[in-house]
């Protein structure tokens, strides 16, 4: 069993339990997930704590967000006495160390001590504050905590960067010198690779201490989700979207439902969806739903990518089992592939990476299936006349894929020369916009962003040019785009962009897992999510 300092309770799922001396504190439980709650008033703080309790019984109360933290303690005492099943941390971080408390070191110590006497199980003191204390002051503080049966967590926060693991280990050692119950090292991720440094530090330190390690910021999501697997005592989440206490924090529900925190173990396969921006990608939700439905021990995380090198480092060293690639990385990744299917090579764009058992990267393009499958379910593509509006990345997948299925494909694009170049490569035809009204098609596929929420652009076709029985719009925000509304009003059949999104994701799922994708569940969950989001 590990030798633990001042560890009067059991940390569930992470380390062996340490029976508490019965006279000092009752045995407490610390789960993998601590929900950090804040509020401008005690009422708001307690309402959030009450709401958080249904997701985790381990809650951090950020007292420094209150105008008068000390004045709130009687109310908190009543709350904690009523909710004896909550394990609580009190934090009153001073402004100079990234918190909101404007008082002095003495005031902070006084509030934390009163919090301990109020019934808090753990108090969080910044390492800088610990170092500013005189020896007698710190000794007195710690004796009072012991008398109250409260444990000490000492934390360090770097709001600018993440150092290499050696630097992080030094910080952890600086904290460990005080022999606290918990060592907490928080940094700021500027790259995906920064997560690797934090996870390494956790692996190193968790041999001798209860350690918590997190890289803040959107790029640091990997550390928030995977730190318990690396050996961290727990990780943090917010009580709800919009109630974060630190940059990059995600809500407890997202961490539990989408990132599957409670299911992750050493065997969990990690996938990513890479891009920038990526925070609002529907892929993690869709794939998590599929993984859960098909009993696959896997998770997908959004990866904010600033450079391909950074992504490839994490793919190799985390490692990642596969990645869904979004623009603009689809072309850039090609030289790094050990192999790719022939269509991906011809299109010159890869949207799906799979890491082989040999560690090499294999590339696929499932955007093609995203376009072809919905159409072939509704028509015979052999000899079908299909108009593609646009000649960008999405159009490439559509044109190459449809030509391969034997369709006669026509391209119209705002920049005519780009249509000419694409048509030449894919053996398709080019049309001038002026000829559209006189030409009949079996289907029209819009691959331009026109009609997308937030883009005020005229549609690339007029109503009089909708000379087809089926209109397919790749845009899916909003679900019913202006083009689809126009087509429906004319009694034409339609295909929405969400069907394409799900079809390309379903093929990714199959490539990664070898199992048939649960398409209807995948569609259902992303449609529900889109309807929930403000348009
Ligand atoms: P892209 O590479 O930037 O290409 C955009 C194309 O649209 C270009 O051909 C561009 O013409 C044309 N275009 C842009 N604005 C226009 C306007 N106002 N009028 C006429 N034509 C215009 O983008 P992409 O990656 O192909 O993506 C295009 C759309 O498809 C996006 O809305 C994306 O969300 C959607 N998409 C959906 C899925 C799905 O799963 N449903 C998958 C991929 C993409 P120029 O050549 O003249 O610039």
What is the mean predicted confidence (pLDDT) over 517-531?
97
Residue 189 burial (CB < 10 Å; 0-12/13-18/19+)?
buried
The protein residue whose alpha carbon is closest to atom 27 in ligand 1 is: 394
Q: Say if residue 432 is preceded by a cis peptide, omega within 30 of 0.
A: no
Residues 6+ apart with CB under 8 A from 140: none
Ligand 1 center to 394 CA (angstroms):
7
Q: What are phi and psi of 96, to 5 degrees?
A: -65, -15
Please, what is the Cα angle at 211 between 193 and 320, to 5 degrees? 30
What is the mean predicted confidence (pLDDT) over 495-511?
98
The protein residue whose alpha carbon is closest to atom 40 in ligand 1 is: 501
Q: How confident is the model at residue 48 (pLDDT cuts 50, 70, 90)?
A: very high
Using H for helix, E for strand and C for coil, what is the string for 48-109?
Answer: HHHHHCCCCCEEEEEHHHCCCHHHHHHHHHHHHHHCCCCEEEEECCEHHHCCCECCCHHHHH
462 an active-site residue? no
Q: How confident is the model at residue 8 (pLDDT cuts 50, 70, 90)?
A: very low
How far apart (Å, rounded) are the C-alpha atoms in residues 101 and 18?
34
pLDDT of residue 535: 66
How far apart (Å, rounded) are the C-alpha atoms in residues 419 and 432?
10
What is the mean predicted confidence (pLDDT) over 30-37?
94
Ligand 1 center to 364 CA (angstroms):
21
Tokens of 66: 């209150």
Alpha helices in 91-218 (DSSP H): 105-118, 127-132, 135-148, 165-176, 193-205
pLDDT of residue 455: 80
User: What is the CA 164 to chain-centroid distance, rounded?
Assistant: 23
Mean pLDDT of the chain: 93
pLDDT of residue 18: 36
Crossing angle of helices 69-82 and 42-52, rounded to 10°: 30
pLDDT of residue 1: 32
pLDDT of residue 28: 58
How far apart (Å, rounded) are the C-alpha atoms in residues 452 and 474?
10
Number of C-beta neighbours around residue 291 at 10 A: 24
- Does 27 have pLDDT greater than 80? no
What is the mean predicted confidence (pLDDT) over 383-412?
97
What is the mean predicted confidence (pLDDT) over 211-238?
98
Q: How confident is the model at residue 209 (pLDDT cuts 50, 70, 90)?
A: very high
Which protein residues are within 6 Å of ligand 1, measured from CB?
327, 367, 370, 390-395, 413-415, 418, 447-450, 452, 457, 460, 474-476, 497, 500-501, 504
220 touches 226 (CB < 8 A):
no
353 touches 377 (CB < 8 A):
no
Contacts 24+ apart (CB under 8 A), 479-482: 479/527, 479/530, 479/531, 481/451, 481/452, 482/451
224 touches 214 (CB < 8 A):
yes
Ordered domains of the chain (ranges, CATH)? 13-18+28-266 (3.20.20.70), 271-365 (3.40.50.10860), 368-495 (3.40.50.720)
List, for residues 478-489, the tens digit of each pLDDT value.
Answer: 999 999 999 999
The protein residue whose alpha carbon is closest to atom 43 in ligand 1 is: 394
How far apart (Å, rounded) are the C-alpha atoms in residues 213 and 83?
28
What is the mean predicted confidence (pLDDT) over 383-399?
96
User: What is the CA 182 to chain-centroid distance, rounded?
Assistant: 26
Of 414, 475, 507, best ligand 1 pocket probe by most atoms within 8 Å of the beta carbon: 414
Q: How confident is the model at residue 145 (pLDDT cuts 50, 70, 90)?
A: very high
pLDDT of residue 454: 86
């Amino acid at each position: 069993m590990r030798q633990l300092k001042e560890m009067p309770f059991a940390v569930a799922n992470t380390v062996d339990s340490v029976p508490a001396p019965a006279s000092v504190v009752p045995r407490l439980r610390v789960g993998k997930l601590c929900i950090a709650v804040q509020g401008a008033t005690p009422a708001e703080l307690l309402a959030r704590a009450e709401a958080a309790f249904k997701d985790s019984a381990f809650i951090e109360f950020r007292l420094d967000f209150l105008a008068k933290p000390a004045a709130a303690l009687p109310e908190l005492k009543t709350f904690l006495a009523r909710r004896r099943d909550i394990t609580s941390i009190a934090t009153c971080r001073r402004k100079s160390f990234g918190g909101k408390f404007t008082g002095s070191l003495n005031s902070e110590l006084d509030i934390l001590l009163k919090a301990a006497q109020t019934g808090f199980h753990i108090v969080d003191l910044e390492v800088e504050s610990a170092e500013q204390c005189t020896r007698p002051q710190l000794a007195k503080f710690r004796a009072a905590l012991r008398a109250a049966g409260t444990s000490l967590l000492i934390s360090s926060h770097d709001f600018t960067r993440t150092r290499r693991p050696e630097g992080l280990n030094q910080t952890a050692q600086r904290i460990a010198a005080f022999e606290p119950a918990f060592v907490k090292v928080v940094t700021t991720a500027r790259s995906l690779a920064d997560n690797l440094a934090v996870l390494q530090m956790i692996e190193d330190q968790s041999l001798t201490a209860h350690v918590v390690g997190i890289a803040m910021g959107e790029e640091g999501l990997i550390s928030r989700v995977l730190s318990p697997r690396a050996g961290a005592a727990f990780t943090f989440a917010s009580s709800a979207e919009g109630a974060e206490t630190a940059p990059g924090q995600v809500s407890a529900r997202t961490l539990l439902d989408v990132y599957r925190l409670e299911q992750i173990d050493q065997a969990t396969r990690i996938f990513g969806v890479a891009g920038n921006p990526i925070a609002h990608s529907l892929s993690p939700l869709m794939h998590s739903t599929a993984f859960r439905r098909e009993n696959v021990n896997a998770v997908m995380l959004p990866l904010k990518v600033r450079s391909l090198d950074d992504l490839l480092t994490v793919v190799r060293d985390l490692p990642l089992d596969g990645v869904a690639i979004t623009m603009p990385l689809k072309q850039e990744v090609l030289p790094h592939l050990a192999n790719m299917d022939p269509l991906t090579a011809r299109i010159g764009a890869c949207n799906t990476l799979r890491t082989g058992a040999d560690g090499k990267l294999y590339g696929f393009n499932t955007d093609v299936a995203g376009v072809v499958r919905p159409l072939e379910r509704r028509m015979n593509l052999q000899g079908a006349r299909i108009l593609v509006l646009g000649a960008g990345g999405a159009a490439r997948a559509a044109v190459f894929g449809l030509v391969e299925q034997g369709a006669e494909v026509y391209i119209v694009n705002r920049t005519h020369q780009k249509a000419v170049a694409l048509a030449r490569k894919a053996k398709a035809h080019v049309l001038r916009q002026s000829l559209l009204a006189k030409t009949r098609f079996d289907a029209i596929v819009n691959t331009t962003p026109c009609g997308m929420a937030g883009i005020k652009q005229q549609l690339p076709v007029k109503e009089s040019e909708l000379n087809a029985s089926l209109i397919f719009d790749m845009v899916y925000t909003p679900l019913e785009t202006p083009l689809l509304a126009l087509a429906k009003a004319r009694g034409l059949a339609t295909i929405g962009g969400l069907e394409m999104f799900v079809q390309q994701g379903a093929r990714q799922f199959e490539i990664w897992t070898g199992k048939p994708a649960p398409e209807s569940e995948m569609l259902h969950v992303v449609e529900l999510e889109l309807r929930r989001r403000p348009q």
